[in-house]
Structure 1
Amino acid sequence: MTDPSEALGRAIRERRATIAIVGLGYVGLPLALASARAGFRVIGFDVNPDRVARINAGEPVIALLDTDAMRAALESGRFRATGDTARLAEADAILICVPTPLTRQREPDLSYIRATAADIARTLRPGQLVVLESTTWPGTTQEVLKPILEATGLISGTDFFLAYSPEREDPGNAVHTLAATPKVVGGDGAAARDLADLLYGQIVARTVPVSSTATAEAVKLTENIFRAVNIALVNELKTVYDAMGIDVWEVIGAAATKPFGFMPFHPGPGLGGHCIPIDPFYLTWKAREFDVPTRFIELAGEVNRHMPHYVVERLARALDQRFGRALRGTPILLVGMAYKRNVDDVRESPALKLMELLEERGADVAYHDPLVPEIPPTREYPHLAGRRSVPLDAEILARSAATLIVTDHDTVDYGLIVAHAPLVVDTRNACGRAGHAGETIVL
């Protein structure tokens, strides 16, 4: 009788394997295109029928995604999107790229992983490889995903193969693309690890096998906690240096000239995106099970969550000092709604929190974002959904008492802002980098 792992390994090496990717967002869709480009047949799954239809029509659904590459994959017949989870039976390898948010109590929400696992279990067959890519706490693959799949009667490592490989997607990064970024791989046993390593080795330039799925899960959390802690540090330094009249951006720029022992991180109005504001709390939650304190990580989260409040206070102080005006009844223009430059993703964006805080204090808030024409529904800010971006022109800038730069998209005309806005508060040093600092207040 043929060994399932040997048959699957041959299919992967010969590019005959069919890959299913569950979740066609910022992680799953680029992975689907990279897999198709490597020569595999790819079926993409998404619960949003409108998104599926737009993808299959070759329409752009993510800012900066190579739409031509998506259309080429569709035209070649190697890629197609669907919402029919029964088609998971066609796949030899199933890669799970679904969200892992937090609940309102800031605890891990694994509902998307559990629902996907249930979908896979309905059609699971011997010889399939299942890989979780979603960021989560160490132990999720073994403690949550594996039992759901093994409830079918099939055994991991014998009938099917289970692995974890954390996504390392950086939306908008043209240098460190998915294919150029090393892929960490851990398996439920050596056979699963080797199969996942073989699969990703056909898609990316380099793989990094590790000893277990829990180790691979911990790698992803460590990467993002490292960033969260260092961002919290520079955010705290910003508040200290601001009180001293010292430009933190100048300090960081000069410190970065040291060729060793220093890595520049930059302050901002708060954290956003699907990773850094969320991932540290997956570890702090799991650490409670082992009665281990995570004070350092929790303090970093506290500092970063406070930044929107700090920005609003500084803006209010600037309005009072410059014009003798309070926030109540004052028109404020936010520039940038996305969580980072040059993307259209608003998940966990500090701009949403800033808009809410300003409006709670009575400000009349509008926003401009060339990549976010309308605020989509979000779990935390459903009341802001449907708000539309206004044009960025001299008239709107002049009638806004203050313009608050939250996201530093490259396509924004910062010279126009400085020339016509009565007051500019820049949380990203965007005007300074563009050579238009003028009278800008840089936070």
Structure 2
Amino acid sequence: MRTAWIGVCHLRQADGGEYRCQAAVWAHYESFRATLEAHVAPRGYTLIWLEDVLPAAHYISDHTSQHPQVGALVQAVHSGNTVELGPMQSMRPHETIQPESYLTIEDHAFAPLPDQTGIPFWDRDWIAPELKELLFGQPEDGQKLRTYLIVDATLRKNVIGTFDLDDVDVPVQCLFKGTAAEELKESAPYLIDMTLPDDAWDDGGLVPAFHKSFFAKHWGQNTGIFIRTTARMSEVWGHFRKFTLVPRAGQRTPIFVRFWDEQYMRLYFPHIANNRERVERWFMRDGFCVHALLADQDGGKTVREIVLQHTLVYTANTPSKPFEITEYDLAPFSRERERKDLWTLAEALKKGFPKDLKNYSEETILSLIEDPVHRMVGYGFRQQKHLYILAAWSLFFGQSFEHKDPSGRLSDICKSPLSEIDKMSALKARMEHLSAPKRAAS
């Protein structure tokens, strides 16, 4: 059975440069080297030698300080992506090769509109100039860029208190079809063509009422994402609707993907920026590409812009395999949940030990327990009440407390095949024994 393995590989480039990096490979142990060689050869590298090749769980357990970066590599490999390389370190000190990025991600701050009280409504600006340029500006040469909005009807309704997308003055189309579109009408995602009419750039009277209402009431509420592309509305609709309900690798039940949610702009798209296959999947389609995605941040004070690199526009082909959600796609959301759980744990410890931790902030506590908690999760501990105790031990007895038992018993219990409850009971008993006062020799 194939699974994830981790190893350290040493590579030589055609120009003679030698590099070292971690590699995650989805393979049998016997095929680790051959799978890796087949991956690096087309990229101009020769595999010189390997070291420390271990199953992923074993590697993470033995290299706890490297958990975050190793975990990301492990989550990236599967049957459809058999090799993932970490950052390459040159054998010449201080020289590192960063993986190529296919997306440019930039956060833009802009000045809000000034107070327009006293100005007749027909003379008022409907959008801040910098924001207008980002969302509706045109290139100096080339095809006209159109602007679309994918909006969440539920979130929009939360802002204005009613569903109104069946009565607006711009083209609207639900991303669902048939019965689903009817039954989920007021909670479905919708594609809206927000391309400005001709001459509306300079004449506010030609700007649709939908635009003016959106930027007056909805901007800053995270109700959807903007799309810049040369494509027609029907093409954009056909491209994005296929991402709404996606198969999950290894499971029968598909996943409803809310890609218009702010988490995707903040977590997911930056996560896939170095993954050519995923970027092509989301941003490329036969006949057109998505030039940029944009969304409001910080309550509308900034705009996140994610732009497709032009190197892909002319060289990439639309992937032929059906898209499915894998552990790689879910990894940034898992890390976000883990981070929130760690923060909750840090707050609970601060509250639970007010005297002992009075000089520690929650941020400091989090930084101290992060590696131990990841290690304990690797040992099979999942329940928050257990992690709370284990994190407390790491604070008061040392971050590697399980390795301080002279007999090695604590470490053996952690690595044992016992159930989580039995492991915890055994750890408590051993910790009580180690903490008990020693009797004086008679």
Same fold (TM over 0.5): no
With normalisation by structure 2, the TM-score equals 0.25
Higher strand share: 2
With normalisation by structure 1, the TM-score equals 0.25
| Structure (1 or 2) with the larger CA radius of gyration | 2
